[in-house]
Amino acid sequence: MKTVSILGSTGSIGVQTLDVLASQPEIFRAGWLTTNARIDLLEQQVQRFQPFGVAIADENSYHEFKHSTSFKGKILCGVEGVCEAASDRRADVLMSSLVGFSGVLPTFAAIEQGITVALANKETLVSAGAVITNAAKAHNVRLLAVDSEHSAILQCMVGETPDEVEKLIITASGGPFRECSTEMLSTVTPAQALKHPNWAMGNKITIDSATLMNKGFEVVEAYWLFGIGLERIEVVVHPQSIIHSMVQFVDGSVKAQMGLPDMKIPIAYALNFPHRMSLDASLVPRLNLTELPQLTFCAPDVERFPCLRLAYEAIQQSGTAPAILNAANEIAVHAFLQGQLRFTDIPRLIEHCLQQLPHKAEPTLADIVAIDNEARMLAKTYSKAMKS
């Protein structure tokens, strides 16, 4: 049996990870489950999967759950509790699927205990790429990509060596506004932005996809996961989301990984790497090539979607710049969803923070936590100024 702990078990990736575990009960069992505050769904999960224990980040939700649940396992509270759950060495794999910066500390805690990490929280590498990858090397921990794009690259790299790679090609759907003018983008509502054309995801990542910041984060993540220079990582808009990413090799050949948009495929691949697991067609629908629409590709427009440009610039500056990028983006997205900023204000706020805050070249984890807090404070202040 392989034991899998899940950070963010009540989120989209966490729920689908449990679906995969349930489909192979002879192979997998649940270790720890964590949530921020969705204790109603957590209650259903613990009754079904009987994990070692649970960790609830929100203190009020922790007390409510502890008072109402019949679950007999261990119940932990706060960031410290989530880190304790993540670092339990009884787990063979940690599925790191928290949203935003909240994934950094528990993922680091798991790495320090030598636990394999299936990484679905791209912000961990965006904010703390050098710290996380150095820790993984020091503790001989494998970081396995779960994002569909990075899983696709990982699958294309099997049997190949890094020195044979000419470039990585990360595909992007382009989001719901890829054909909108700048003027139209300024009037976009949160409800419109939350309607992704191909993928069903959480609110934050859906907005990131609409601004192309998600694609910028994926460039940063690919840089750290695969050790490929930034100049050799290309983004291509592919509206149909059938090809999840490609690798071009030094002989001119290109490998592509294809499939219907379904996160259970990369989840299962990461949990059972380097082997594939049998997933029933009722769980994962099959791709029928004869029914496919035309597959098209074009370059992204960084003038209309400057978040992608900002991500490239942040990783080029390195140090704490990507952490500032991530923190400012989280605040900007939240403000947009609350109706406090326009869609086109998101990159303006992020760029302001990148320009105003000092960058430290070789930060420690403590430095990254500190600049994350500082960037959030500045972003909140500037957001209020932009609104007024």
Range of the domain at 131: 2-145
Residues 44 and 111 in one domain: yes
Confidence of residue 359 (pLDDT cuts 50, 70, 90): confident
Sheet containing 116-119, strands listed edge to edge, beginning at the edge strand earlier in sequence: 74-77, 53-56, 28-35, 2-7, 93-96, 116-119, 143-145
Residues 172 and 81 in one domain: no
Domain boundary (145, 176, 209) is at 145
For the stretch 245-274, pLDDT in tens is 999 999 999 999 999 989 999 999 999 999
Please compute the mean of the pLDDT values over residues 118-122 and round it to a whole number.
95
Residues 347 and 252 in one domain: no
What proportion of the chain, given as a percentage, has pLDDT over 90?
90
Separation CA 220–CA 62 (nearest Å): 34
pLDDT number for residue 201 = 72
Residues 123 and 182 in one domain: no
DSSP labels, 264-278: HHHHHHHHTTTS---
Residues 94 and 173 in one domain: no
Please compute the mean of the pLDDT values over residues 70-79 and round it to a whole number.
96
Our CA angle for 80, 81, 82, nearest 5°, is 95
Separation CA 183–CA 195 (nearest Å): 19
Confidence of residue 357 (pLDDT cuts 50, 70, 90): very high
* pLDDT of residue 74 exceeding 90: yes
Handedness of CA 117, 121, 122, 123 (dihedral sign): negative
Our CA angle for 288, 292, 293, nearest 5°, is 175
pLDDT number for residue 200 = 67
CB-based contact 247:118 (threshold 8 Å)? no
Residues 196 and 134 in one domain: no
* pLDDT of residue 369 exceeding 90: yes
Residues 159 and 202 in one domain: yes
Confidence of residue 118 (pLDDT cuts 50, 70, 90): very high
Question: Does residue 34 lie in a domain region?
Answer: yes
For the stretch 138-173, pLDDT in tens is 999 999 999 999 999 999 999 999 899 999 999 999
H/E segment holding residue 3: strand 2-7
The set of residues, in sequence order, having a beta carbon less than 8 Å from that of 277 and lying 6+ positions away, is 20, 24, 27, 268, 269, 271
pLDDT number for residue 205 = 87
CATH number for 133:
3.40.50.720
Both structure tokens of 202: 């959480």
pLDDT number for residue 187 = 93
For the stretch 17-46, pLDDT in tens is 999 999 999 999 999 999 999 999 999 999
For the chain, the domain total comes to 3
pLDDT number for residue 388 = 62
CATH number for 371:
1.10.1740.10
For the stretch 193-246, pLDDT in tens is 988 777 667 788 899 999 999 999 999 999 999 999 999 999 999 999 999 999
Residues 26 and 130 in one domain: yes
Residue type at 143 in one-letter notation = L
Residues 41 and 70 in one domain: yes
CB-based contact 325:314 (threshold 8 Å)? yes
Residues 200 and 235 in one domain: yes
Confidence of residue 293 (pLDDT cuts 50, 70, 90): confident
For the stretch 166-183, pLDDT in tens is 999 999 998 889 988 989
